[in-house]
Amino acid sequence: MKETSPGVDNENSRRRFFKLLGGGFITAASWPLARQAYGQVAGGQEKEQAPPIPKAGGAIDPADNKFWSFVREQFPITKNKNIIYMNNGTMGPSPYYIQWMFFSKEQEVNFNGIYGGHDIARAKVAEFINCDEKEVVLTHNVTEGINIIAQGLKLKRGDEVIITNHEHAGNAIPWYTRARRDRVVVKVAPLGRDAVETLSNIEKTITKKTRIISVPHMTCTNGQILPAKEIVELAHRKRILVMIDGAHPPGMFKVDVRDLGCDFYATCGHKFLLGPKGTGFLYVKEELFDRVEPIMTGGGSDSGWDYQRGLHGWNSTAHRYDYGTQSLALYYGLIASFDFVNGIGIDNITKRDKALANKLLQGLQDIPQVEILTPLEEKSRCALTSFRLKNMPYDKFQSWLMEKYKIRIRGVGEGGLNSLRVTTHIYNTFEEIDLLLKAIREATGQ
């Protein structure tokens, strides 16, 4: 049998690829559009074979059915009759294009014996969040990024760290770990109902011993967007550092770390960026490299080493915090996520995400048995909506909803919240929101 390079695909192997993805074929009706999009996908061989990236080419109405249906078609999960997925905040399902990039790069590596090459992702991350590529650490999830700072920042016994009372374990456990090891003190600031109150609560928690504030950009519990820029301004006036746990915003709304002014920003590719699972990146402001000791190190972290002098010093870039063999396919998949998001346009994505969440929020407000936990303040919310049912525990409703309506949402048991969290994204529809509201009305007897 004639060998074919996976890098030079043909019609047959493309069909095999879609089959591999679980029968989620691009329908005949979408082929003309898909073909058009091929021409707009960057990069040599990919031109002929890549699944499409929807290209907006300007502002798109969040209710433009033609455009958003085409976007939806790119997601195999929307073809799975056993699930209506509204849990993007836990895991963002990838569209065909991103999966194709990941699978074909992995094939290429295994066919051509390629080693390395993933470093190209640093420049792409830098472009996406507006920093210098020197300031990018390639990680595998949000938690890894937070740990690089939590374990490495030079702190002494009695120094204080501020977190909020709505943390994911990923931004709490690393700091409590540090507290156990070095007797650093973790202080907890309660979230307010809006941006002003939250800022004020953080300010009240600051003492002369506060060294760093480590808070979510958007909480995983009630979807509250924190006033990150104002927190940074407040902290910097008092010479306090700021770490942002940015698990959710990239891919949901524009994140510009220079504009935020934060010192560290940790995120992942596997939520709103819709990228490969187990990808992430951390921004470390260049002037702070010397204040964060690399803890886990190896090939790439160093500026040289030998058996006589030992380690000569650190890599002059943030590459000092990552090391060893990395997956080319995963990071190419991450780059594909940026291409996908940029093709649709981040502002179009934000508006669509917000429109879906607004519809849900409006519907929830009309159901008396529902207590909404997401702040109503416009600037403090986006694609994550959280509520509590007065007549039913969260876990009971969650299982009933999946069993009867096949709708997957997330229960929030953390901190005794007993609430439910809906995270929709660009592949969801207004009709799906209607169905969820119908289910909630049924469960609450309204």
Contact positions toward ligand PLP, by CB under 6 A?
Answer: 90, 141-143, 168, 170-171, 216, 220, 245, 247, 268, 280
In the complex with ligand PLP, the residue whose CB is nearer, 95 or 250, is 250
Query: Shortest Cβ distance from residue 395 to ligand PLP (Å)?
Result: 18
In the complex with ligand PLP, the residue whose CB is nearer, 230 or 414, is 414
User: Residue 293 burial (CB < 10 Å; 0-12/13-18/19+)?
Assistant: middle
In the complex with ligand PLP, the residue whose CB is nearer, 54 or 216, is 216
Sequential DSSP letters for 63-103: T-HHHHHHHHHT-GGGG-TT-EE-BTTT--PPPHHHHHHHH
Q: What is the dihedral of CA 183, 147, 134, 46, to 10 degrees?
A: 180
DSSP state of 53: -
In the complex with ligand PLP, the residue whose CB is nearer, 53 or 373, is 373
User: Residue 154 burial (CB < 10 Å; 0-12/13-18/19+)?
Assistant: exposed
Cα-trace Rg, the chain = 23
Query: Shortest Cβ distance from residue 151 to ligand PLP (Å)?
Result: 15
Helix axes 328-344, 346-365, angle to 10 degrees: 80
Query: Shortest Cβ distance from residue 277 to ligand PLP (Å)?
Result: 9
DSSP state of 153: B
Query: Shortest Cβ distance from residue 109 to ligand PLP (Å)?
Result: 24
Query: Shortest Cβ distance from residue 243 to ligand PLP (Å)?
Result: 11
Query: Shortest Cβ distance from residue 273 to ligand PLP (Å)?
Result: 11
In the complex with ligand PLP, the residue whose CB is nearer, 192 or 280, is 280
The residue behind tokens 């809906």 is: 422
CA distance linking residue 208 with residue 305, whole number of Å: 40
CB-CB contact of 169 with 142 (8 Å)? no
In the complex with ligand PLP, the residue whose CB is nearer, 54 or 227, is 227
In the complex with ligand PLP, the residue whose CB is nearer, 106 or 144, is 144
How far, in Å, are 155, 197, 221, 393 from residue 166 at the CA level? Answer: 24, 15, 6, 20
In the complex with ligand PLP, the residue whose CB is nearer, 118 or 166, is 166
The residue behind tokens 């799975």 is: 80
Q: Cα-flanking dihedrals φ and ψ of residue 188, to 5°? A: -115, 120
Query: Shortest Cβ distance from residue 14 to ligand PLP (Å)?
Result: 31
Sequential DSSP letters for 94-105: PPHHHHHHHHHH
CA distance linking residue 186 with residue 161, whole number of Å: 5
Query: Shortest Cβ distance from residue 90 to ligand PLP (Å)?
Result: 6
Query: Shortest Cβ distance from residue 217 to ligand PLP (Å)?
Result: 8
H-type alpha helices, 183-256 = 195-205, 228-237
In the complex with ligand PLP, the residue whose CB is nearer, 349 or 384, is 384
Tokens linked to 362 = 């409006």
User: Residue 282 burial (CB < 10 Å; 0-12/13-18/19+)?
Assistant: buried
Query: Shortest Cβ distance from residue 382 to ligand PLP (Å)?
Result: 13
In the complex with ligand PLP, the residue whose CB is nearer, 104 or 214, is 214
In the complex with ligand PLP, the residue whose CB is nearer, 106 or 245, is 245
Query: Shortest Cβ distance from residue 245 to ligand PLP (Å)?
Result: 5
* Side chain identity at residue 28, one-letter code: A
Strands 210-216 and 241-245: parallel
Tokens linked to 76 = 């195999």
In the complex with ligand PLP, the residue whose CB is nearer, 213 or 268, is 268
Tokens linked to 422 = 């809906």
Residues paired with 311 in a beta bridge: 305
Query: Shortest Cβ distance from residue 368 to ligand PLP (Å)?
Result: 30
- Which of 143, 168, 148, 136 is closest to 334 using CA atoms? 136
